[in-house]
Amino acid sequence: MRRRDFIKVIAGSASIWPFAARAQQATTPLIGFLSSRSPNESEALVAAFRQGLAEAGYAEGQNVHLAFRWAEGRYDRLPGLAAELVKSQVAVIVSVGGSISALAAKSATRTIPIVAVASDPVKNGLVASFNRPGGNVTVVSPASTLLSTKRLGLLRELVPTAASIGVMLNPKSPDSATQLEDFEEAARAVVQQIHVVNASSEQEIDAAFVSLSQQGIGGLALSSDPFFDTRRDQIIALAAHYAVPAIYAQHVYTAAGGLISYAPSFSEAYRQAGVYAGRVLKGEKPADLPVVQATKFELVINLKTAKALGLKVPVSMQLLADEVIE
């Protein structure tokens, strides 16, 4: 081949390649990942989501792309972030971090399939029923808001002399009213007086702990809320500073120094969301994918924190624990 012809061939290949690359990229589905939480405290959960995708046959950067949107505890940002994903023409939206994220996604689109990780999906209007969700949304439900009686019972066992136990809620959460009802019912079931404090900002969290300390509250049950997850280190530090025994709705709190947690496996919920997202990409409709409900629950106890608080954890409770942190 003459040098001039060779140069023409190379030049022609160079001009064709970008178009071929763009064509291949255009056929690669894009998953929108909408979270009310923060990326720095969600790394393990995102890894579980990617694992679920892999089980369904999808690997990021190979045959699927991911577009992440994080509200970082600022719920007012969710509608705008959901709109961004819709505008990006994602093939499916995975919403995590509670029903507030899922509701924002559902309000943004009635056509793009949505896989949500959220509790109380029927009560919150996300799906028509557990077996036949209908519409464009299906849900993986960790049922984290339905364990109040168990949590209060465990905390009462740790601090049996506590006259009153605090309950911290985020009034800006759409689940707060239901959570309050659950805690009030749980308090009646275990015959325990509770004192409710509300917090929806860092300053209000600080003020809530000051109030609990001044009133001599014997313990704290933290409600399950994505905003609290984004302020996890602050809450754990305040509980230690004011010597407040606290029970949490996710085991990551206990791993980070919290006293005790009783919760569904959120890693399993995110993994299942990845599996469902993969099935949707393969053509299944959310309307036909039944709501997946949590079946695995984890009791984690941090004995080091208990010792710092001057608490003795009953041996019977330690034997029931899935993990005991020495």
The per-residue pLDDT for range 227-268, each reduced to its tens digit, is: 999 999 999 999 999 999 999 999 999 999 999 999 998 999
pLDDT at 179 over 60: yes
Helix, strand, or coil here: 96?
strand
| Matching fold, domains 7-142+266-295 and 145-264+298-325 | yes
pTM: 0.85
**How is residue 291 annotated by DSSP?**
P
Name 22's Cβ contacts closer than 8 Å, sequence gap at least 6. none
Q: Nearest Cα to 143, choosing from 254, 272, 264, 276?
A: 264
Edge-to-edge strand ranges of the sheet holding 164-169:
193-198, 164-169, 220-222, 246-248, 260-264, 297-302, 323-325
What was the pLDDT predicted at 174?
83
Radius of gyration of the chain (CA): 23
What was the pLDDT predicted at 9?
39
- Alpha carbon distance 242, 87 (integer Å): 47
pLDDT at 61 over 90: yes
What was the pLDDT predicted at 146?
61
Burial class (CB in 10 A: 0-12, 13-18, 19+), 100: buried
CB 36 within 8 A of CB 73: yes
pLDDT at 294 over 70: yes
- Where are the domains positioned within the chain? 7-142+266-295, 145-264+298-325
- Would you report the helix, strand and coil content of the chain in percent, each value rounded to 5? 45, 20, 35
Q: 145-264+298-325 adopts what CATH topology?
A: Rossmann fold (3.40.50)
What top-level class would CATH report for the domain 7-142+266-295? Answer: alpha beta
